[in-house]
Structure 1
Amino acid sequence: MDYDSFIGTVQQHGEYAGSGEAVSATRATLATLGERIDEGEAEDLAAQLPAEVGEHLTGGDHGEQFDFETFLERVADRAEHDAVAEHPEDATNAVVRTLQEALGRETEIADVLSQLPQDEGYGGLFESVA
């Protein structure tokens, strides 16, 4: 999946009016996910995505321990559009759903899922794998 297809799919899943909201959702969600998973996993995941998408996974700190509520707060704080900031869970769901489709392999998603606590809301993001 190329960059335009990824953003278009996020836009469709998030039911956003424009691509700006989809770009914002993608940046905010993947940057936050990159902080939550370890560096090696972030790099592995990024390598399988378009460079413009994957770079958001690897740009910050990694392996931080924070709950799902904090995850959503960070997504909202990073959002550049109100549609994302006001509904960070919807934005996160749209990006993760697109991520699953882009990877097309449950093993990669399972690797990410294994680094997230399943009792704090993260499991719902990856329902098709959990």
Structure 2
Amino acid sequence: MRFPLFVEAVARRAELSTDQAATISRAVLQTLGERITADEAGDLAAQLPDDVGGYLAAPEGAGATGAAVEFLYRVAERSAVDPAVAEVGTRAVLATLRETVTVGEFQDLVAQLPRGFDAMVDPIPRPPYDV
């Protein structure tokens, strides 16, 4: 999935313009890159096209921690939107990531996020049981 297709999926989910969805997608990916380990960012980026995964590269000295609220304020600041729009956009980006990478990789990503993110991430469905 190239970045324009990723953005289209985010725009549809969040009911945002394509431009706004692109800005928020970049902000969410950059902020995720600051919140997860470099190894996890590399693993996640490896399953994304270069033009999407490249936004996960954290600057030197990154590794910020913080609650989901702080994450949303950072996304809002980076994308110059209201925190409520940042939350809707963040949910859409996470849902799009969930569909783009393997279940295991998405679980690894979510495991590195603070508990407050549980409300923004749809549960990962369990495989059906054989009956």
TM over 0.5: yes
Amino acid at match of 1:126: V
Structure 1 pair 123–62 and aligned structure 2 pair: CA distance change class (3 A) = farther
Runs of 4+ aligned residues of structure 1 deviating over 3 Å after TM superposition are none
Between the aligned partners of 2:99 and 2:62, the Cα distance in structure 1 is 24
Q: TM-score, normalised by structure 2?
A: 0.85
**Is 1:38–1:62's contact at 8 Å kept on the other side of the alignment?**
no
Question: Offset of 1:85 from its aligned partner?
Answer: 5.4
2:9 corresponds in structure 1 to: 9
Q: Deviations over 1:41-76 (max 9, x none)?
A: 011111211211111111425432111111011000
Q: What's the C-alpha RMSD, in Å, of the aligned pairs?
A: 1.8
Amino acid at match of 1:100: R
Percentage of identical aligned residues: 37
Question: Offset of 1:14 from its aligned partner?
Answer: 1.1
Aligned length: 124
Query: Looking at CA atoms only, which structure, 1 or 2, has the larger radius of gyration?
Result: 2
Structure 1 pair 108–41 and aligned structure 2 pair: CA distance change class (3 A) = same
Q: TM-score, normalised by structure 1?
A: 0.85
Amino acid at match of 2:121: F
Question: Offset of 1:126 from its aligned partner?
Answer: 2.2
2:92 corresponds in structure 1 to: 94
Query: Alignment partner for residue 117 of structure 1, among 106, 114, 118?
Result: 114
Task: Give runs of aligned pairs for residues 62-101 of structure 1, distance below 5 A.
Answer: 62-80=62-80, 82=81, 87-101=85-99
1:46 corresponds in structure 2 to: 45
